Every structure is written in structure tokens, then in C-alpha cells.
Structure 1
């Protein structure tokens, strides 16, 4: 059995966290288009080569930062019922409306870069889908979802609303919208 080892120094967790925090700060200040590897490196107090050693592009740095954020700020609740779980999950998800420019930037990058698109889809979009899927599976096991309903379609409906509102900015994407969508889904599954 052989183990693959990266060349160079091992990744410093402190430097990694500083880089991801610097990326998020830079995004808040300059938006996705104005964010640069040079700016991230300067804010984090590391060299550009450190960032490029660990991430192939700005989009990959931002993707990791968003994954960390999603894991810490959007937990998969277990409140004991589908209405409570879904409301908690969707209000936490929609509370991230301030991340709109970041998510739009990542989606745009995914449309332009097929290699990044795979990473974005598999690491971010599918992980968020899996989180909601876990919640729906628990509800199904408790008998809260009518037989024959397609959970993948329900997930598409939820994230379809999220992305439609993110991309078009035609209607609020806030906690109230999260509660309304949770209520709509709960009514639909019964």
C-alpha cells in the first residue's frame, strides 16, 4: 500500500484559515469580480505561491471558504418533525442572502470553466442537496412524507427557488421566504 504525499511543506491550518477569512473579507469589500489572489495573500499575510500551492484558482479558494461557512452556519437540524426541521434549515440557508454576490460569482465561474463546474457541483451543490436529503429521509422514516413522492424533485423545488431568486433578485430571499417555502413544501408532501 502506497500513500500519496504532496510536495512541499504541509498545509498550515492557521494559514488555511487566514486565507479563507481573507477571501471572505475581500469578497465583502470588493465582490467576486474584484477579488484577486494577490489581495487574498496580502490580507492573509502569506505569499501568492502558498495559495497557488493549495488551490488552483480564486474560485477554488472561494469554494472552500463557502463550504466552511455552510458547515458552520447551516446545520442539518433535528427538531423532531419535518415542519420544524425544514423551517430551521431554510431560514438558516436564506439568512445567507448577504452571500448573493459570492454565490453568483461561483455559478458564473462554473458556467465558464468546466473543470471548476465539476468541483462546484460535486463539493458545494451536491453537499447542500445531501443535507436537505438527510432531513427529508428522516421525515420519510417518521411517515411525514406521502408515499410515492420523489425526494429529488422536492430538493430541486427548494433549490430552484433559492437559485432563481439569487440569480434574478426579483423577490426577497430572506428568513420569511425560507419559512414560506418550508410551509409550501410541508403542505405538498402531505
Structure 2
């Protein structure tokens, strides 16, 4: 995890054993109870450390959960490197959506973290730099490579395309009005391709006969 995203309060250097125990306890309790029911007290009890140990190294429950979530992410976290741009986008989006759907899984955690980020400016920065921007940069890099190959228009706003992709994901995740599934991944990938497609060369008009 990025160092800045895991900073807590200044103090003694963290014991790696205690850190690992806290993160493992957080993940275990998240699976058992969900984010809303999770507490620092429960994490400390399950990890076998004191609450003061957690508060010395993390600023909040949300900070502990964020670090635990990033630590368990697959490494390296990257889209597939083969196939057409449409296939790569669909696979990337489908795998992202799939990870959100497990009971008391990543989707539940992200909803809780997003809620915390609206109330805590310090955590909002941790959340953005520690997780959100990393995922955005992965997708932007895929689009940039496609743009360099001429598969996307040279003047298309890649950051806007990224907003379109993750904006749909977050809206459905938070509102829950429609599924995050493979069909959406396919439709959304197609939409991104159409939005960023190079303009077709204009055919010269035929001269009119006198």
C-alpha cells in the first residue's frame, strides 16, 4: 500500500506482527459482521492488541479497513494485456464488478468507506490516494495505450472516459437500483468505445456534372 495512505498518528514504529494481526482481524470481522457493525474495540480484541495500539498507528476504523482492503488486493492489480480494446475493457469492468458482489464483501466495504469519506476530510484524502486513484490510473493507462495505437481519438478526454466508467459503477453500487454484472460490463465497454472512437475520415465529395 502507498505509504501516505497508511499513515496514522506519529509515534513508535509499527510492529509488523501487530500490524498483520490487526489487518487480518479487520478482514475476518468484516466478513462476519460487515462494515457497519465493525468497531475498533472488536478489531483490537480479535487481534490481541490494545485499542491504543491501533489508534497510535491508524486514525480511524476506516483507515484500518482501507489498509486491510488494499493489502489483500491481487498483486499486480492490472487489466488483461491481450485482446481488442473492447475485450480488455469488458474483462476489466467485469472483474471489478464481480469483486463487489460477494456477501459482506468489497462492495459493502466500499459503501462504508465512501460514507466515511464524506464526513472525514483526512480520510477522504487517504481513500482517494490509497485506492480510488490507483484504480483510475489503471484504466487511464489502458485507454492511453489504445489512444497511442490510434484506437481512440487523439483529442478525447481520457479522464472523462474514466469518470464515465467508474461513475456508473459507483452510482449503481451506492443506489442499488440496477445490477453490476457482465451485461453492464459489455454495454459500458461498448459505450466507452463509441464515446472515444476516432472520427471516420470524410470522403471527398464527387464533382457535380455541369
- If the TM-score is normalised by the length of the shorter chain, which range does it land in? 0.7 to 0.9
Tell me the TM-score normalised to structure 1 length. 0.86
Larger radius of gyration: 2
Change (3 A) 1:43 1:59: same
From 11, 14, 17, the equivalent of 2:15 is 11
Residues 30-60 of structure 1 show CA distances to partners (whole Å, capped at 9, x for unaligned) of 2222101121122223332332222111000
Matches within 5 A, 1:142-157: 142-157=149-164
CA distance in 2, matches of 1:181, 1:74: 21
| Ranges in structure 2 where 5+ consecutive residues have no aligned partner | 1-9, 198-210
Q: Do residues 127 (structure 1) and 134 (structure 2) align?
A: yes
SS of the equivalent of 1:130 reads helix
Q: Do residues 112 (structure 1) and 116 (structure 2) align?
A: no
Across the aligned residues of Structure 1 and Structure 2, the Cα RMSD in angstroms comes to 2.0
Matches within 5 A, 1:20-169: 20-72=23-75, 74-97=77-100, 98=102, 99-169=106-176
Change (3 A) 1:112 1:175: same
From 179, 183, 193, the equivalent of 1:172 is 179
Whose helix fraction is larger, Structure 1's or Structure 2's? 1
CA distance in 1, matches of 2:34, 2:117: 17
SS of the equivalent of 2:128 reads helix
| Ranges in structure 1 where 5+ consecutive residues have no aligned partner | 1-5
